[in-house]
Chain A
Amino acid sequence: MLRYIVKRLLFMLVTLSCTIIFVFTLLEFTPGDPAKIILGQTANEEALEAIRLQFHLNDPYIVRLGRYFVQLLHGDLGTSYITRQPIAGAIAARLPLTLRIAFFGILVGACIGILAGTISAVKQFSIADRVLTFISLFGNSAPSFWTAMLFVLIFAVKLQVLPATGSYGFKYWILPVATIGLQCSSGVTRMTRSSVLEVIRQDYIRTARAKGQVEWKVVISHALRNAFIPILTQLSGEFCGYLGGTVLVESVFAIPGIGNYVLDAVKKMDTPVVLSGIVIICAMCSVIILVVDILYSFIDPRIKATFGFGVKKKKTAKAAGGSK
């Protein structure tokens, strides 16, 4: 097990480094002179040159890329062009807000989605199935910012039971979490439905029923468990998407999360903030994917077997060679 985790961790680090290099290279093509973005268009040449020296803008691409990696290893995410503040502190203050909303949204979405998807798969072509499919397709087609505004209109403007904007406590999280939960649940419902439908025709389900197993146990421990891998993939994908994608929800509810932070930077051409923001989002994603990969092997032991195969074979070969 440990070997598997270490292997996945190394793989994750390689992918993440490639992603960082890729994003760094992309942002190299940002038009405009960074020094002028920092000081404004009217700054004189001497001041511009001083700023270029301060931010190491004159160094070649490779040197700056290397320096960025060294900085990252020291936990330094660089300095913002606009505020001249270290980015790490700003992100540390904003990341929990985004993570909280995304996490609870996904949790709500997973609970609703798995329940609804299982119901509609077990009762395929029933009225419940049709209604649930309709609702989930609706959730899939409605833009999150529009759903968010609909919630604000109903709960904050008309009923006046929940606050519309800000982030000061539990009450303020309900609407954003509900928005993400609704959208997430629709995808999970569809995935659960198709995945359970695929499993429920397998022979072992028929065997379980033939043995006289109670129907709800057949569904939960035989069908759902075997259908869970694609659902988990869907959930991890949604979580990753929401780390950056909450920007839409954040901007409706005026939540100072990481999405809004990067968005502001994009509008002001504050490249270091964009770079570090995206790197942090990608890093979070890699961690989520890693955790999910490890969860896979708990749900389905066959996966661990296939992944560890190459390593194990080599090891046994070596051991065999050593014993000779």
Chain B
Amino acid sequence: MAEFAPRKRVVRRDSQAMSQWAVAWQQFRKHRLAMFSLYALVVFYLLALFADTIAPYGEAQSFRRGAENRSFAPPTRIYWRDAETGRLSWPFVYPVSASRDLRTLRLVYTEDRTQAYPVRLFVRGHSYVPPPLTLVPPQIRKRLQLNWETDRHLFGVEFPATIYLWGADQFGRDVFGRILFGARISLTIGIFASLISLSLGLVLGGLSGYYGGVLDDALMRFVEVLATIPSLFLLLALRALFPLDVNPSTVFLIVITILGFIRWGPIARVVRGLALSLREEEFVQAARALGGSDARILLRHLLPGTAAYAIVAFSLLIPGFILTEAGLSFLGLGINEPASSWGLMLAVAQEGGIQTFTSRPWMLLPGLFIFVTVLAFNFVGDGLRDALDPKLRT
């Protein structure tokens, strides 16, 4: 049986007993898909953190006027061979010029082969705040006088040539870059919203189960009422409480709060059940007999008992929130321009109707990223569940 496989390793470790977490980690590492997903997620998070440097253009940097119009420009072709000699050369691109096809009224991009522009590494471009500092909110940065900026980008080409690895959107913004910038929002929103849901669920469920009585009745009726309203509609109705046209960072907070609020019910219910059964355990009664306060019993004895469930629930909540955020932004009620999020980018794809599919399929790429991220989180969650709480397996 697979469950007994780690026995060998335990023996090798000079007969010292392993902690619950060490065993869980060992179990988790055997889940190959989960480990692979974990690596993939680490890569995604790193890409999101260094988005400013990796992306050749700024998040809101657009090319849409006159000669430099790049609205829905296709992915830039990168050449590796010299046009005349045919020998391998440093990669270069040709600038494109836009002209309108009078029959279809679409912009057509043609390459101008007269001058080649080499792809350069660590070029100067749009200036930005470098990575570790971007995590500090701008107000605090200003107060602490941390105003370092840099304008180096991993790669880029000289204007008038432009480099779009994955094409451009309606305003001539780089889709590759915006997917990376969008990853910041799509990857963090799920974590914060899950933290809110989980804290609400743990606190309210724990109190409800431990104290019982009127509090329990009232809370559980409220959870029931919440469950009666379809979560999408609850989400939309709650979104209506807040103004739509505010700056992106406020929207970010609003969305996190709302998302956190809609999913705590089921967690509270499970935690309540756990608390109910833990309350009757002998160690809890012993703690009470020894004169432990309610707060102490709740924090030191009941909370650790729900840890395994909490971690698994946390990891399985995240993908759901990523999907919900994408949906909300897709409807135009989530993250707003000029910030980017994967759902918002897909909304552009949808608005384009048939044109999206025939002349700019790259606008669908963010969907692939949502899919892969959610899949990875699901696998990690599955691995965690198998490792921490085999009873919960479905």
State whether these chains interact: no
